[in-house]
Structure 1
Amino acid sequence: MDIENTSELRLLIECARGGSLTAASREMGITPAAASAMLKKVEARLGVRLAERSTRALRLTPAGERLREYAQRALELLDEGLAQITEGLEPDGAKGGRSAALRGRIRLSASSDLTRRIVLPLLDDFLDQHPGVDLQLSVGDALQDVVRDEVDLALRYGELADSRLVARKLYDGRRLLVASPEFLKRHGRPAHPSELTRFECIRFKIGERLERDWRFWRRDSPPVMPIDVTVQGRRCADDGGIAHQWALEGRGLTYKSELDIRDSLASGALVEVMPEWVGRPMPLHALMPSHRFLPLRVKALVDHLAQGLRPSPSRRSGLSV
């Protein structure tokens, strides 16, 4: 092997994190001279320059950054394996046996409204159950590149197009047309999708694309051609949580995933408009990079989310298109 020990991998990680050999040596408990010698030794053995040095700073080269990414994953997996065979066995009362403790960091990316209203309590519960797990949560509706941005797990709505990823469906929902009771009292209620052109609608911007057309199917009927309606409105957001809040304040109709709004529907803060019609399929998937081994802690979190998001029978949609 061209890497002799884990200290060489850790040096690369600490150099990237601290931006200098001095900072890296301090974290590793060695002298700056020893850190410099170790880095030069690795570069000589690999035959490639891993870092650009100046008198005060250090920056990884593209080759160094690529190696650092794999080093980070490798050390995390090694830590998990060591935990399982040493301190990592703890009683499993439910089965009368012993189960492996979970350790390490999980980098999770999820949309804002879903996280704040649905997922956050599930994450807190998971962390309470597994004190050895650290969570690094990235919240926002802009899509991240799971591989490039070093995300262990991403929760995303909609159909999937990236064949590089492993996906598990967590929830099979749809979009619904909703509004607050106050809005409907003031402005009336549309009876057919074609009438939406006369109403104030809260729209979304996904990336650079403004979502102008809302699609509907008849509920509980044989699949037929959908109806597309071009809607108008003075409010548009690239954050689902803001659109949700505007709807709660009676600012307009909105077209949201039923999972995001299920608590608002249950409380009556929002009501379903035109319940005989449903919107686009909006399945929620857990996405994971396919090119590396899946740590047990990530698999355990996916299982936990799948259990927590499981809909009750009364919430299941009767339409499949």
Structure 2
Amino acid sequence: MSESLSDIAVFVACADSGRLSLAARSLGITLAVASAALKRLEVQLGVRLILRTTRSLRLSVEGERYLPHAREALAALSAGRLALSRDREGLRGLVRITAPADFGRNRLAGWLDEFAAGHPQVQFQISLDDAITDFFAAPVDIALRYGNPGDSNLIALPLAQLQRVACAAPDYLARHGAPEHPRELAAHATVCFMRQQRPADRWRFVRGEEEYEVSVLPRWIFNDAEMVRRWALRGRGIANRVWADVAEDVAAGRLQRVLPQWLGETEPLNLMYAERRLSPALRALIDFLLARREELAACQP
């Protein structure tokens, strides 16, 4: 008996979210159905794909080996759905999207430009905003958002688990020195993002089996992630940023990683929408964005 694509989708969602409950919610199924699908797939393959603990899930060696093939199978299915969704006149209509400011500028803009080139009759309304969107009050069709989704009425599809890194301008590190342990961050100037009216001033780090959480004392707090990046570039302090947003700055030498032997916490990025009955243009765009998961998965420090 061959593996079911719906069971494979549960496995991939578990790998992306790290929790079976989040995977079930993203797929619109119950926890029991998701658990049964995962067990059924493992029985069919004759291997343990996911190692379960009381708090989280992680892939086994076999699961790591199977994951890229599972993604490829789902991508092929998505491509077929996209081809069938196009009517004779092509996709058309307005799509309204909101995304975090840095991610919108650094990643999403290029993706949308590529999608638009193939669909000249689709219009785009884009809002780069780090605030949580109220789908029922704001004119939004799709939202890309960091963090675990809190509204159970929304459909949330995991896009990536993005790694945070501490970073600073070479000028700042030359003047103040580089910390050698996360606890030393408390004595440094830091630049923090404000999330839901509260500064994100508790930074978590992992080195092998060792974990450490430090409360920093931010000198600068912004509700705009781009301003956090700019102030870090100006040498105003150390920032804790998603690697995908600062990778080019680090490669160009404008920023340097701080505590490179430590990894910051991972930040889930979800694609969220409210409508279950989607227009062909929205369905095609969602499939197009989900196909970028591999690109994001490869963007690691």
Structure 1 residue corresponding to 2:127, chosen from 138, 151, 156: 138
Q: Which residue of 1 aligns with 2:277?
A: 293
Distance 1:167 1:139 in 2: 19
Indicate yes or no: 2:158 matched with 1:164: no
Indicate yes or no: 2:228 matched with 1:243: yes
CA displacement 1:239-262 (0-9 Å, x = unmatched) = 000000111111110011112212
Q: How does 1:263-274 map to 2 (within 5 A)?
A: 263-274=248-259
Distance 2:148 2:204 in 1: 15
Q: Deviation of residue 158 (structure 1)?
A: 1.4
Structure 2 residue corresponding to 1:258, chosen from 243, 268, 284: 243
Q: Which residue of 2 aligns with 1:119?
A: 108
Distance 1:298 1:264 in 2: 33
Letter in 2 for 1:302: I
Letter in 1 for 2:205: F
Structure 1 residue corresponding to 2:198, chosen from 209, 234, 240: 209
Q: Answer whether contact 1:171 1:311 (CA < 8 A) is retained.
A: no
Q: Which residue of 2 aligns with 1:24?
A: none
In 2 relative to 1, CA 271–231 (structure 1 residues): closer, same or farther, beyond 3 Å? same
Please provide the CA RMSD for this pair. 2.1
Instruction: Point out the more displaced range, 306-315 or 131-140.
Output: 306-315
TM-score between the two structures when normalised by the length of structure 1: 0.63
Q: Which residue of 2 aligns with 1:200?
A: 189
Letter in 2 for 1:242: M
Letter in 2 for 1:270: L
In 2 relative to 1, CA 127–305 (structure 1 residues): closer, same or farther, beyond 3 Å? same
Structure 2 residue corresponding to 1:304, chosen from 267, 288, 294: 288
CA displacement 1:201-240 (0-9 Å, x = unmatched) = 001111221222111111xx24x5x322111132110000
Distance 1:271 1:118 in 2: 21
Q: Which residue of 2 aligns with 1:283?
A: 268
Runs (4+) of structure 1 moved beyond 6 Å?
none
Structure 2 residue corresponding to 1:154, chosen from 97, 120, 143: 143
Structure 2 spans left out of the alignment, 5+ residues: 1-84
Q: Answer whether contact 1:171 1:306 (CA < 8 A) is retained.
A: no
Q: Deviation of residue 288 (structure 1)?
A: 0.9
Structure 1 residue corresponding to 2:163, chosen from 149, 167, 174: 174
Distance 1:306 1:258 in 2: 19
In 2 relative to 1, CA 313–292 (structure 1 residues): closer, same or farther, beyond 3 Å? closer
Distance 1:169 1:293 in 2: 19
Q: How does 1:22-33 map to 2 (within 5 A)?
A: none
TM-score between the two structures when normalised by the length of structure 2: 0.67
Q: Deviation of residue 148 (structure 1)?
A: 3.0
Distance 2:145 2:197 in 1: 18
Using CA pairs below 8 Å that are at least 6 residues apart, which structure has the higher relative contact order? 2
CA displacement 1:2-22 (0-9 Å, x = unmatched) = xxxxxxxxxxxxxxxxxxxxx
Distance 2:260 2:285 in 1: 34
Q: Deviation of residue 294 (structure 1)?
A: 2.1
Q: Deviation of residue 313 (structure 1)?
A: 7.3
Q: Which residue of 1 aligns with 2:15?
A: none
Q: How does 1:98-109 map to 2 (within 5 A)?
A: 101-109=90-98
Distance 1:304 1:215 in 2: 33
Q: Deviation of residue 312 (structure 1)?
A: 7.2
Q: Deviation of residue 296 (structure 1)?
A: 2.5
In 2 relative to 1, CA 104–314 (structure 1 residues): closer, same or farther, beyond 3 Å? closer
Q: Answer whether contact 1:170 1:310 (CA < 8 A) is retained.
A: no
- Number of residue-to-residue matches in the alignment: 217
Q: Answer whether contact 2:97 2:142 (CA < 8 A) is retained.
A: yes
Distance 1:311 1:157 in 2: 17
Letter in 2 for 1:194: R
Distance 1:255 1:179 in 2: 9
In 2 relative to 1, CA 197–84 (structure 1 residues): closer, same or farther, beyond 3 Å? closer
Larger CA Rg, structure 1 vs 2? 1
